[in-house]
Each structure stands twice: as C-alpha cells, then as structure tokens.
Amino acid sequence: MRRLACALLLALASAAHATDPELQRAFVQGMQRLEAGDGAQAEIIFREVLKHTDSARVKLELARALYQQGKYEQSKLLFKEVSMQSETPWRVRDNIALFVREIEERTGYVKFGVTMVSDSNPGNLARQREFSIGDIQVTPTQAPERLTGLRYSIQAWQPLAPIRAAGYLTASYVDYPTEEFDRLTVDAGLSKNLVASGRVRGKAGLEFGTSDGSSLYQFPYLGLDAVLDQSQTHRLTGELKFGHVQFSDFDYLNATYRSGALSLRRELSQTMAGTLRASVEGSRAAEEPYTYYGWDLAPGIHIFWPAYTFLVGATVSYGVRKYAEADPLFGLRREDERTRAELTVGNKKWRWRDSYVVLVASFEETRSNIGLFSYQKANLSVVIE
C-alpha cells in the first residue's frame, strides 16, 4: 500500500493544490502525521484544510488517513468521488481502484454490469445439414440465426466475521428478443481462508442454470483456490473443483465432475503482459457413453499504449474432449476439438460514470466426429462494468 500511496502522490503532483502558504504548511503537517502512522491526527488536519479548498489531492490523502484507521466506508466514498471526476488522470484512477479493491475485500461489495451481445449462433446449431442415425437420414429444421440482446450481470462479496468466511455471488441473465435462448446462470457459496496469508481458500457452492425459463442443471461443488507463486512481475494461481451435476430433463447426463486449472500472468515489459491458462476436466456420467475427459490450453497477450491509453488483449484457446464409449444413437465414440479466439479493445478514457467500456469480439468453433455436435459462432459485445 505504501507504493500505491507514492503513486497517488506523484500522479497528483501537478494537480490543483492550495496556494495559501498556511494551507500548504497544514497539508505538509498532515502528510507528516500520516507517514508517521497517526491517521487520526492527519484526518483532523486534512478535514480542516478541505474547509478552504476542494483539492482532489487533499481528498485522496484524507481517504488514505481514513483507510489507515479502518474507516473503510468513508475512505471508499472519498476515493470514488475523486475517481469519478472527469479531470482525474487515468493513472490516478488505476491506483485508486487498487485501494478500493482492498477495501471491498474487507467490507464487501455489490457490482452490476451490462453487456450488449450479438451472437451468430446462440443455440450452437450444427453446420451440417443432414445426419445419419442408423439407417435414417435426419435434416434439421432450424438454421443458425444471429440474435442481439443484453446480458445483465451481478457480482457480490460479503465477509461473514462470525464464521471467519465470506459469501460470494456471481450471476448473469442473457435476454434475447425471443425467450427460447434466454439463459440465467448463478454461482453462489461460501469461501474461507485456509491459511493466515489468505493465499489458499476453500469454497462450497452451488451453480445452477435455466434456459427459456426452465431449470437446466444444478451443480453443488467443493473448490480450492490458491496463489501458488507471486512477485512484482508474475502471478501463478491454481484451482480445483469437485461436485455432482444434475440435469433436470436428462438423467442419463447426471455426472460426478472434477476439474483443475493453472493460470499464469507475467509482465513482459512495462506495457505488455503474457497470460497462460491450462486446464483439465473429467465427468463420470450415469451412462458410460456420456462420460468424458478433456483438456484446454489458452495463451494470451495484453498490450497497453500509454500515449493513446488503449488496451488490447488477444487470447487463443485449443481444447479436446473425448468420450468413454460409442454414442448409442450414432454408433461412434465422440471426440470434439474446440478452438476459440478472443480480441478485447479498451481505452482508459472510455468511461460511463465509474465504469469502463470494453469492446469484445470472439470466434468459436467446435469440430466433432459426429456432425450434429459441430458448430461455429461469432460474438460481438460491448461491456460496461
């Protein structure tokens, strides 16, 4: 946090500040008390200074003094106030966001987002126009059709001091003009630190989904998240998940599911970072033909151009999923290959209120030895969060 404080101080060095020598001396005195760890006295001084100036610099130092005393809600309000001012430099906003994130980890939060989504194939319909089921030729009556709608999302985190844990919630609802492809997904549960550093967390949660207003699946699970290694230039995390998924209308797909993943992010320069995610999964279904295992590998690159404040990210993933036995309808042991490419474009100046606007384009293709399960789709999204 000391590094963040210095960054705020330097970023606002040329910002508006008090010109009255007495206010200047009072401000310096407040800074000295703050650096000495006397947040209470620093708060008194900065509040007095703010009676004579509306300086963002003084407000930020008061927010730091409140943070130092554990007055997180007051501190967060001041940080947010400065962040939402149009004249606040983006570097200051980025540093404020780190302070706010630390506060929200301690006090909880509820965040909302909205995304405009344009999907070329929302039903993941097959490209092939005719299929063979035994000796019968089947021609699908539906063809892929692009739909545009809105995705509403919410993320929440609430520390629960009595049990030394926290509750979490992630939910999204995709709303298309026709209800057929509307979908709700919810993931909620409890998270608890397993070590004093907070680098290993256990989770117990429930994920469920609906489609067209009807229940699709329920997935109670146990999970483990860990920060395996971290420095100023890289971060390596791991996660495990185990549970039993139940499908409301397809009992034969009910399965014991487990997965694991490693994620690495590494700074390659001051303006470029590389990412890599590797995952494995396995699902033992009630009926053996629907049991499968698979893996996925996703490298990525993220670049920032300070002169234009543009952020561009590109990720490509390739994965394989293989099933245990021949499909009872098609007589083949199903094997799928999935490729996905995603491009994100953002700008530090693209803001709406206290949210950033990001453009996302993606292309996804699944190739299966059973034509019914092969499909392509392209998405365009405008994300505000």
11-53 tens-digit pLDDT = 444 344 445 788 888 888 888 888 888 889 988 888 888 888 8
Convert the chain into a string of H (helix), E (strand) and C (coil): CHHHHHHHHHHCCCCCCCCCHHHHHHHHHHHHHHHCCCHHHHHHHHHHHCCCCCCHHHHHHHHHHHHHCCCHHHHHHHHHHHHCCCCCCHHHHHHHHHHHHHHHHHHCEEEEEEEEEEECCCCCCCCCCCEEECCEEECCCCCCCCEEEEEEEEEEEEEEHHHCEEEEEEEEEEECCCHHHCEEEEEEEEEEECCCCCCEEEEEEEEEEEECCEEEEEEEEEEEEEEEEECCCEEEEEEEEEEEEEECCCHHHCEEEEEEEEEEEEEEECCEEEEEEEEEEEEEECCHHHCEEEEEEEEEEEEEECCCCEEEEEEEEEEEEEEEEECCCCCCEEEEEEEEEEEEEEEEEEEECCEEEEEEEEEEEEEECCHHHCEEEEEEEEEEC
Q: Do 277 and 128 lie in a common domain?
A: yes
Give me the CATH number covering residue 98. Answer: 1.25.40
* pLDDT reported for residue 36: 87
Q: Do 350 and 315 lie in a common domain?
A: yes
pLDDT tens string for the chain (385 positions)? 544 444 444 444 434 444 578 888 888 888 888 888 888 998 888 888 888 888 888 888 899 999 989 999 999 888 888 888 777 787 788 888 888 888 988 899 999 999 999 998 888 777 656 655 555 555 555 666 888 999 999 999 999 988 889 999 999 999 998 878 899 999 999 999 999 888 999 999 999 999 888 899 999 999 999 999 999 899 999 999 999 999 988 899 999 999 999 999 999 998 999 999 999 999 999 999 999 999 999 999 999 998 888 999 999 999 999 999 999 888 899 999 999 999 999 998 888 777 889 999 999 999 999 888 889 999 999 998 7
Residues spanned by the domain of 100: 2-105
* pLDDT reported for residue 129: 60
> Which pLDDT tens digit goes with each residue over 62-118?
999 999 899 999 998 888 888 887 777 877 888 888 888 889 888 999 999 999 999
Of 68, 86, 105, at which residue does a domain stop?
Answer: 105
* pLDDT reported for residue 239: 97
* pLDDT reported for residue 10: 41
Q: Do 89 and 154 lie in a common domain?
A: no
Q: Do 150 and 66 lie in a common domain?
A: no
How many structural domains are present in the chain?
Answer: 2
Give me the CATH number covering residue 378. Answer: 2.40.160.40
* pLDDT reported for residue 137: 57
Q: Do 68 and 24 lie in a common domain?
A: yes
Of 57, 87, 105, at which residue does a domain stop?
Answer: 105
Q: Do 94 and 191 lie in a common domain?
A: no
Of 75, 105, 135, at which residue does a domain stop?
Answer: 105
Q: Do 261 and 335 lie in a common domain?
A: yes
